[in-house]
Structure 1
Amino acid sequence: MKKRYIFGIISTLAVCSLALTGCTNRSKQATESASQVNQNFKTPTAVTVLGSIDDKSFNQSAWEGLQQWGQSKNITKGVGGFNYAAATQDSDLTSQINNLIKNKYQMIFGVGYRLSKSIGDAAKQNPNTNFAIVDDVISDQSNVASLTFKDEQAAYLAGVSAALSTKTNKIGFIGGVQGEVLGKFEKGYRAGAQSVNPDISIDVKYAGSFSRADLGKSMATAMYNTGADVIYQLAGETGTGVFSVAKDSAKSGNKVWVIGADRDQTDEGQYSGGNVTLTSSIKNLSSVIKDVADKNANGEFPGGKHTIYGLNEDGVDLVKGQLSDDTWAKVDQAKKDIMSGKITI
């Protein structure tokens, strides 16, 4: 099994020291200025336990957000800039987070609901450190920002796309670990597909893992062999197996589709003869990471608050991908209806 990762950003304290330069008779003013910069320029850190930072999905989106944030602040990867550290198992999380705190990280992002307990415990023990939990809610701590998404909205659009694109009237859904978050995706996907065709057949399976490409491959093979021609995968590295099967099928003359998740997965569907990625539901985690990191740096950290990102907040979306113009027009109308409240999921 691949190692899981903890990754983060380290602020460049050397930047702060520039405020100390100047004439001797202005040293007090420079010192105060540097102190203010240090106070506001918090250190964001992201932590993930499901797969690697190059999983082509959820974790990669978070890492890209951190990289973009660092670049916007003119800091680079490495000591004095931003970086990541590795954790091999869930039991290492508490010690890893504690090490980050000891090393003067002033903000820690917990990327994924699996970090809730570790983040919650660390926040109680370290009230002067800011934390953010993604995909879960920690409601009783003023130094924790809870960040969740209206995943069902993007999944609804994915369901509409699948139902309008299938030729067999049978579509599939492959998830990683069954739970509340993926449950929203599943229900949204069902609702969207059934809004187009109430009699559509939807095969739903969970792998029980986000890091088993071999399992994703076997599950996708079974679905495609039993008639499904569109599969929505929400399984991290397990989902790479779905793309593998779809590409092999297309190469043999049986064109099937995959709907990507969390980020635009068009590249994952590319093969010598074309592309099997129909579309992708987007979870703008990278933008959210940057937004919260900026608020933290500006002294506006949303501690104690639960922020929900949906279509209206540019938190989720669907890309056109290889959808036909007619299908895309219908998807766009569904999107407008969700945003206006005409469709409630």
Structure 2
Amino acid sequence: MRRISRITVAGAATASLALALAACGGTSTSGSSSESKGDKGLAIAYDVGGKGDQSFNDAAYAGLEQAKKEFGYETADIEPTEGETDADKQQRLESLAKQGYNPVIGVGYAYAAAMKSAAEKFPDTTFGIVDDATIEAKNVADLVFSEEEASYLAGVAAAKSTKTNVVGFVGGVDVPLIHKFEAGFQQGVKDTNPKAKVLSQYLTQTAEEGGFSSPDKGKTAAEGQIEKKADVVYAAAGLSGQGVIEAAAANKIWAIGVDSDQYKQEALAKYKEFILTSATKDVAKAVYNLAKSVEDGKPETGIVRGDLKSGEVGLADSNPKFKADKAVQEAVAAAKEKIISGEIKVKSS
């Protein structure tokens, strides 16, 4: 069993401490990792946008909180820094492993290169990366999701809800991961209402330009689509999605959230009546499950996928108006059944 501790390490102060410890400790080795193993539990390093994005990162934090409560151990969650490099990310991961945290999870595909290197140096630590499927290492779990399936259902909902036959998609960064969201959404819309037009826009070419962390960019993009008659806008843009939701509410049209059930997010409460639904992926469950697997002595490794069949992606129905719309509910339920059965093959690009 692990030594029980109630100390929580969080935020920028922890980031500074972790980096300082890494610098003082010199080159990390698997030996130093093994000496402290068993003392600490789950640690997560956030993606761009950090904690408070009401979406992707907050879902990871919810999984950490569940693990902390159930296993009663020390946890850490560390914010990214602006303009950081792969070397900075690697140093952060190695510092957490060296301090004895296990597992160590990088939230977001941006951690791929850093994690590959860190995992090689700490073979006795289990690492996890959310949203990447390219790391081939015996001690790394690739926590991936079939986002295109949930996005297809979002497209069905949008197609059944639009009055103008124009809907919008706002992607945070023009990368393959976000292409999955767009592809599924486009297909869901077209399969449901061939007359509907989908307006698509990506905020930036790289994450460093703020595509996942700039609500103002999201708001401007959504306003442009609304001017072109879009009356339902779906955002896959992390923190930037808050700007999309704000613009939708200001213009009294529907927004579709992503990753978390954004209708339930406190920070978005004043906009929630305009959040039709959210295409969810249970990052919290994936994070918790990896922590539990380590606690049980049987660490998950390799590709660990969540999809509609496993219940780890889906469409939220917290908005009473969405839940009460029989036509939308029937269309979404029928599409979900066909995806799970294989009758509908959802595109990922």
Instruction: Give the direction of change, closer, same or farther, for the CA distance of 1:306–1:165 in structure 2 (3 Å limit).
Output: same
Q: What is aligned with 1:58?
A: 56
Q: What is aligned with 1:258?
A: 255
Q: What is aligned with 1:130?
A: 126
- Give CA-to-partner distance per residue, 1:86-121, whole Å, 9 cap, x none: 331332212212221221223211111010000001
d(CA) in 1 for partners of 2:2, 2:81: 27
Say if 2:57 is the partner of 1:67. Answer: no
Q: What is aligned with 2:310?
A: 313
Kindly report which structure 2 residues correspond to 1:1-345, keeping only aligned pairs within 5 A, or say none: 13-14=3-4, 43-75=41-73, 81-89=74-82, 90-91=84-85, 92-208=88-204, 209-250=211-252, 256-267=253-264, 270-271=269-270, 275-303=273-301, 305-320=302-317, 321=319, 322-323=321-322, 324-345=325-346
| 8 A Cα contact 1:41 1:297, kept in partner | no
d(CA) in 2 for partners of 1:105, 1:83: 8
d(CA) in 1 for partners of 2:256, 2:148: 15
- Give CA-to-partner distance per residue, 1:134-193, whole Å, 9 cap, x none: 111244310111111111100000000000000000000001111111111100001100
d(CA) in 2 for partners of 1:236, 1:86: 15
d(CA) in 2 for partners of 1:276, 1:343: 29
- Give CA-to-partner distance per residue, 1:10-54, whole Å, 9 cap, x none: x96246xxxxxxxxxxxxxxxxxxxxxx97786221112311211
The alignment yields a C-alpha RMSD, in angstroms, of 2.1
| 8 A Cα contact 1:177 1:210, kept in partner | yes
d(CA) in 2 for partners of 1:41, 1:88: 27
Unaligned 5+ runs, structure 2 = 6-35, 205-210
Equivalent AA in structure 1 for residue 255 of structure 2: V
| 8 A Cα contact 2:42 2:76, kept in partner | no
Equivalent AA in structure 1 for residue 316 of structure 2: V
d(CA) in 2 for partners of 1:153, 1:218: 27
| 8 A Cα contact 1:150 1:308, kept in partner | yes
| 8 A Cα contact 2:3 2:38, kept in partner | no
Other structure's SS at 2:251 match: helix
Instruction: Give the direction of change, closer, same or farther, for the CA distance of 1:121–1:211 in structure 2 (3 Å limit).
Output: same
d(CA) in 2 for partners of 1:336, 1:278: 21
| 8 A Cα contact 2:37 2:100, kept in partner | no
Instruction: Give the direction of change, closer, same or farther, for the CA distance of 1:39–1:222 in structure 2 (3 Å limit).
Output: closer
Other structure's SS at 1:13 match: coil
Q: Which range moved further: 157-166 or 96-105?
A: 96-105
Displacement of 1:83 after TM fit?
A: 3.2
Displacement of 1:199 after TM fit?
A: 2.6
Equivalent AA in structure 2 for residue 64 of structure 1: A
| 8 A Cα contact 2:103 2:290, kept in partner | no
Instruction: Give the direction of change, closer, same or farther, for the CA distance of 1:222–1:39 in structure 2 (3 Å limit).
Output: closer
| 8 A Cα contact 2:128 2:141, kept in partner | yes
| 8 A Cα contact 1:148 1:309, kept in partner | yes
d(CA) in 2 for partners of 1:85, 1:135: 18
d(CA) in 2 for partners of 1:309, 1:257: 27
Q: Which range moved further: 164-173 or 97-106?
A: 97-106
d(CA) in 1 for partners of 2:311, 2:39: 26
| 8 A Cα contact 2:3 2:39, kept in partner | no
Unaligned 5+ runs, structure 1 = 1-10, 16-37, 76-80, 251-255
- The number of residue pairs the alignment matches comes to 302
d(CA) in 2 for partners of 1:118, 1:13: 29
Q: What is aligned with 2:11?
A: none
d(CA) in 1 for partners of 2:277, 2:216: 23
Instruction: Give the direction of change, closer, same or farther, for the CA distance of 1:43–1:74 in structure 2 (3 Å limit).
Output: closer
Other structure's SS at 2:300 match: coil
d(CA) in 2 for partners of 1:107, 1:58: 19
Other structure's SS at 1:95 match: helix
| 8 A Cα contact 2:42 2:67, kept in partner | no
d(CA) in 2 for partners of 1:85, 1:261: 22
